[in-house]
Structure 1
């Protein structure tokens, strides 16, 4: 299974830190946020990783190179200024991702999930990801997003209000066909595709009880940095 790390965001809430450094290269615990993902993906057996970028993207390519440092092969999917949002960025990268389900990880989160659970060869693709849909990782709602995103009915994702709401962790396995209708180069958020998958019954999810941080502000970055350095 291939993986994609989303690294194209401008990081407005992280300014002024992101004025000169792309958010995935901001450090916590002595290493860039994106490197935590690369190390965990490599340890889980992933070998091919696609990284999209826009704002200061040349810094990301210069810092990570071809990935051999981690035993990985990195491919880059540059986007125009302003980027293409999540769904648009994934759609643009489909030629690099192939025809099988792939893992997507937000570059600005920290999570201790075992990525191997998504890629084990003994698990059929149909169990990793519904045909034409996705299987998402959810966490308890953080204080800054108390309303959550969706609810779970078993492993089926249902609209918020249908049960206890949870927050999408920015990690999931997606079918490439979910993005097939997105016009090339069009900016598109992920939420409309997720809502359509709910309606079609092709969106599944599971809850992660471990550590997860949406590193969206300088304060949360500083708190995570202190936590990791003192671990």
Structure 2
């Protein structure tokens, strides 16, 4: 699943007429970079949620054929936040564990390996596996602590959640469809139960949350083309 329902307030005025996932870097929409990496990882089915200007996302990506994928859409009348969006899309995602990517990040995380890690999740075991990264300048405090392969909400050093992870559907069992809900409280509750694993990704990762970071990514991609 690719999360693409955010309004992109920090990207305004760019996002007044274009949904953030369709903003381009290196001649490709941000979401297009994800779709290409998912296809190369052997993934065939993708769910995309959307809200703000979502019809433009569907018009641009269609059924996914151009990317060698099958895309299903989970429209939201208003953005439901991360957990709410995932819970609402569960009928499309099915009963098995799945991976989720924020639409506004750029990373070279090994998605094929993440799929393998997703298969280790279970209703009686770990409910999520998170990809953590070094804290960027705009988020110096980080989010979670990683000790070995276990993730907790306290401890030092803290790392930043990349917006990329694998989840078991049972993590969202207490939510209702079309209910606004953030992901953090669900993860922290599961962490207290020792049911969240993780990894430290030290490769490429960028949070494309501002026009300046979008321009920087565009510059990097064009220089390395």
TMscore range, shorter length: over 0.9
Q: Distance in 2 between matches of 1:218 and 1:58?
A: 23
CA gap 1:96/1:127 in 2 versus in 1, 3 angstroms: closer
> Residue 66 of structure 2 is aligned with which of 59, 65, 69?
69
CA gap 1:99/1:215 in 2 versus in 1, 3 angstroms: same
Structure 1, unpaired ranges of 5+? none
8 A Cα contact 1:155 1:204, kept in partner: yes
Partner of residue 167, structure 2: 174
Partner of residue 184, structure 1: 177
8 A Cα contact 1:131 1:175, kept in partner: no
Q: Distance in 2 between matches of 1:124 and 1:7?
A: 21
TM-score in terms of structure 2 length: 0.96
Q: Distance in 2 between matches of 1:194 and 1:91?
A: 14
Q: Distance in 2 between matches of 1:226 and 1:184?
A: 40
Structure 2, unpaired ranges of 5+? none
Q: Distance in 1 between matches of 2:203 and 2:185?
A: 28
8 A Cα contact 1:88 1:185, kept in partner: yes
Partner of residue 79, structure 1: 76
8 A Cα contact 2:115 2:166, kept in partner: no
Q: State the secondary structure of the residue aligned to 1:142.
A: coil
> Residue 36 of structure 1 is aligned with which of 27, 33, 43?
33
Q: Distance in 2 between matches of 1:8 and 1:131?
A: 30
8 A Cα contact 1:52 1:79, kept in partner: yes
Q: C-alpha deviations, 1:9-66, integer Å up to 9, x for none?
A: 0000000000000000000011000000000000000000000000000000000000
TM-score in terms of structure 1 length: 0.94
- Say if 2:132 is the partner of 1:138: yes
> Residue 104 of structure 2 is aligned with which of 105, 108, 124?
108
* Pairs within 5 Å for 1:79-228: 79-81=76-78, 83-120=79-116, 125-126=119-120, 131=125, 133-160=127-154, 162-228=155-221
Q: Distance in 2 between matches of 1:130 and 1:136?
A: 18
Q: C-alpha deviations, 1:152-201, integer Å up to 9, x for none?
A: 111100123x1211000000000001011102211000011011110111
Partner of residue 13, structure 2: 16
Q: C-alpha deviations, 1:70-121, integer Å up to 9, x for none?
A: 110000000013x10000000000000011100000000000112111224x
Q: State the secondary structure of the residue aligned to 2:138.
A: helix
Q: CA RMSD in A?
A: 1.5
Q: Distance in 2 between matches of 1:221 and 1:61?
A: 22
8 A Cα contact 1:22 1:60, kept in partner: yes
